[in-house]
Amino acid sequence: MPEQMPYQWLADAVLVLHFAVVGFVIGGLLAIIVGNLRGWRWVNRLAFRLVHLAAIGFVVLQAWLGATCPLTILENWLRQQAGHDGYQSSFIEHWIQAILFYQAPGWVFIAIYSIFFLVVVASWIRYPPRSIRHG
């Protein structure tokens, strides 16, 4: 089934992208806090801060609306095109999914995402982007 291999590779690429987005959201907040404590100017660039806020805002909005992440939808579709029934996985898929996807009631995720969003908003107040500050 060589025609299905590109779908498998694309699904793995989407999974890696999904993992990178999660890393950006979590690592971005850590970079903002640590960077401000250490005097790193780049962590307060307006573009970086807006993209970071938009990323976590999108996650929170999805959670509150009960929507599935578009990356998850795309990955699942690609896996179906590759002929997977949900139980087969590649090495990349297996290990990244073990890190990214875990079982808990929906309200737990909504609470975690919402609290994280509030911490990001608090970082805007405590460490405003340079373009908003004077000078």
User: pLDDT tens across 11-46, in order?
Assistant: 999 989 999 999 999 999 999 999 999 999 999 999
Q: Which residues of 64-89 are buried (b: 16+ CB within 10 A; e: fewer)?
A: eeeeeeeeeebbeebbeebebeeeeb
Q: What is the pLDDT confidence band of residue 135, given thresholds at 50, 70 and 90?
A: very low
**Residue in the block written with tokens 């090495």:** 91
**How many angstroms separate the CA atoms of 132 and 125, rounded?**
10
pLDDT surpassing 50 at residue 117:
yes
**How many angstroms separate the CA atoms of 130 and 105, rounded?**
39
For position 95, what pLDDT does the model report?
66
Q: Is the dihedral of CA 106, 50, 29, 122 positive or negative?
A: negative
The reported pTM is: 0.83
Q: What is the CB-side half-sphere exposure of residue 47 using CA atoms within 13 A?
A: 1
Q: Is the dihedral of CA 3, 84, 79, 11 positive or negative?
A: negative
User: pLDDT tens across 47-103, in order?
Assistant: 999 999 999 999 999 999 998 889 988 988 998 998 886 534 555 556 667 777 777
For position 87, what pLDDT does the model report?
37
For position 52, what pLDDT does the model report?
98
